[in-house]
Structure 1
Amino acid sequence: MSANKTIKDLTAGTVGGIAQVLVGQPFDIVKVRMQTAPKGTYSGMLHCAGGILKHEGPLAFYKGTLSPLLGIGLCVSIQFGALEYTKRFFASRNLLAGIGGENGMTLSGNQLFTAGVIAGLANGVVSGPVEHIRIRLQTQSNTNPTYRGPLDAVKKIYSAHGIAGIYKGQAVTLLRESTGYGVYFLTYEKLVQREMAAKGVRRDQISPTNSVLYGAAAGYALWFVIYPIDMIKSRMQTDGFTAATGRKYSSTLDCVRTVWRTEGLNAFTRGLTPTLIRSPFANGATFLGFEMASRLLNS
């Protein structure tokens, strides 16, 4: 029964992940370009987006999409699978302790945050290399690209730099995922709990509109916490692999210090506007996809 439930969670998570990529990818490429471009390259989000459209065409907004479409689908699948498994573990503990309501599933804030952290760490093992490849593809030259696609990028990076090259920027990725998803799922689940308690309804009776709204709120909570970390991750994952290939940063901490010294505080929030515009749509779509798929699979 537990294995069957986990399979359903993984499947529903995949649906949520695919929805997230299709809705959020155009905003994401603008965010990454703004995060990684030299200071002064873009005057704002519209300048960046307009330049992409003018010089690279509309399809450029989905550059590197194959990698996240497959990879982020898998990442979100793992993320929700780990989350729901951990929630059930805490619920079983609650039942033994006689807390958490009839089935123990009314988890505490600490339990929900911990479940989110575990989900983020599990997700980060896959999302690190997936996002690394996506960012390389998003930021490479359109006229003289280094990589022909995600598989070509994986082959070339692995051949030259091994598994460490594939997992470049992994330490900051794990920090981002664990911190961010702890807050992300805590926010969403608390909003769901509040509606269930206030209206006396089951989770599967919450309207799809509210799933979208709660997902949007969770997305804003996540980005409020992690955006500066995400910017450092993007810098690390677009940096050269060696001094000979233009490496600027010797470590994550060196990246933070260098950006602070040379570009100031504003660099840590550059590209935030497209992220805030993207967030409610992408995260609302993620939770809507997961909740609707879960209901269908469990009906």
Structure 2
Amino acid sequence: MVGYDPKSECRNNSKVEVALAGSAAGLVTRALISPLDVIKIRFQLQVENLSSRDPRAKYHGILHAMRQILKEEGLTAFWKGHFPAQILSMGYGAVQIYRNLRHGMKMMYKTEGPLAFYKGLPPTIIAIFPYAGFQFSFYRMLKQVYEWAMPGDRKKNANIKNLLCGSGAGVISKILTYPLDLFKKRLQVDGFEEARATFGQVRKYESLLDCARKILQEEGARGFFKGLTPSLLKAAMSTGLIFFMYELFCNLFNCKKTSDNQKTGQVS
């Protein structure tokens, strides 16, 4: 995990503690950013313009979407798909938009077969490697810039550095790979046209290239970046928080170990 220095003199975490810290960081972060994820996906799937000037548009912006979702579906709607997302957030992170995990899996298998679980796989594979690479590369780069730019007395707060650099790395990486994430979401909901009818127009795409071509023709180049604003907020919060929480849990484990060792020494 980036940000963890196994050679650090002030911390000595085991591999198990590092894994637990990463999982706990993913779990807490996913719970906090879930509302932004829900809004982002709604924007990505909306064919109409995200503007009040388009009378057909379901959502116009982040605040408008929040009010609409809260009014029509209640507060819990901001955590739809949270359970499967939490399972995946401990490893990497993804989201689905079904009433619950069992219902979604049963419906997909019954109506479309096992291949339905792999819709949107090509853009996912194409995006995951550069996104991870960008994220870690920019994180290291921003940490170097932070060390160079910050006065000496401000460099002592490692948690703030991890939060700021992690957030910046997440934002940059998300912008560079965002269209592929949008393609993935459009392909994943293929077959659920009837269920999505109340949210506006629906489209059917035959492949990744067909999806990109139709979006460009019907929605313009800006269509590739629908939902970018909540996505950037999510990326900044998610990456920043996960590094922050990771370091925090590692420090907590280390403090507990140090405390236990001190108690053992006193007893002996």
TM-score (norm 2): 0.74
For 1:49, which of 66, 76, 87 is the aligned residue?
66
2:45 equivalent to 1:36: yes
Query: 1:10: how far off?
Result: 2.7
Take 2:178 and 2:242, find their aligned partners in 1: how far apart are those partners? 19
2:136 partner letter? F
* Aligned AA (1:46): L
Matches of 2:17 and 2:105, distance apart in 1:
30
State the distance in 2 between where 1:162 and 1:7 align.
38
Distance 1:192 1:266 in 2: 32
Q: Distance in 2 between matches of 1:227 and 1:297?
A: 36
Query: 1:182-261, aligned counterparts within 5 Å?
Result: 182-193=133-144, 207-240=158-191, 248-261=204-217
Taking a change above 3 Å as real, the CA distance of residues 45 and 224 of structure 1, as seen in their structure-2 partners, is same
**Gaps in structure 1 of 5+ consecutive residues:** 76-126, 138-147
Code of the aligned partner of 1:218: A
Counterpart of 1:286 in structure 2 is 242
2-side partners of 1:232 and 1:211: how far apart? 31
- Match of 1:73, as an amino acid? M
Map 1:77-96 onto structure 2 (within 5 A).
none
Aligned residue number for residue 87 of structure 1:
none
| Counterpart for residue 267 of structure 1 | 223
CA deviation string 1:238-278 (max 9, x = no partner): 12289xx9871111111111111111112111111212233
Go from structure 1 to structure 2 and tell me whether the alpha carbon gap of 1:247 and 1:44 turns closer, same or farther (over 3 Å shift). closer
Matched, 1:166 2:183: no
Q: Indicate how the Cα distance of structure 1 residues 261 and 5 shifts in structure 2: closer, same or farther if over 3 A, else same.
A: farther
- Counterparts of 1:80-119 in structure 2 under 5 Å? none
Supply the RMSD in Å over aligned alpha carbons: 2.9
CA contact 2:146–2:161 (8 Å) conserved in 1: no
Q: Secondary structure at the match of 1:38?
A: coil
Deviations 1:167-225 (A, max 9, x none): 211111111211111100111123335567899x9xxx752111111111111111111
1:19 aligned partner: 28
Which residue does the alignment assign to 1:145? none
**Whose Rg is larger?**
2
Runs of 4+ in 1 over 6 A off after TM superposition: 196-199
* Paired positions, count: 225
Residue 72 in structure 1 maps to residue 86 in structure 2: no
Structure 2 distance, partners of 1:58, 1:212, is 28
| Higher-helix-fraction structure | 1
Supply the AA of the counterpart residue of 2:247: E
CA contact under 8 A between 1:241 and 1:247: conserved in structure 2?
no
1:211 & 1:234 partners in 2: Cα distance? 30
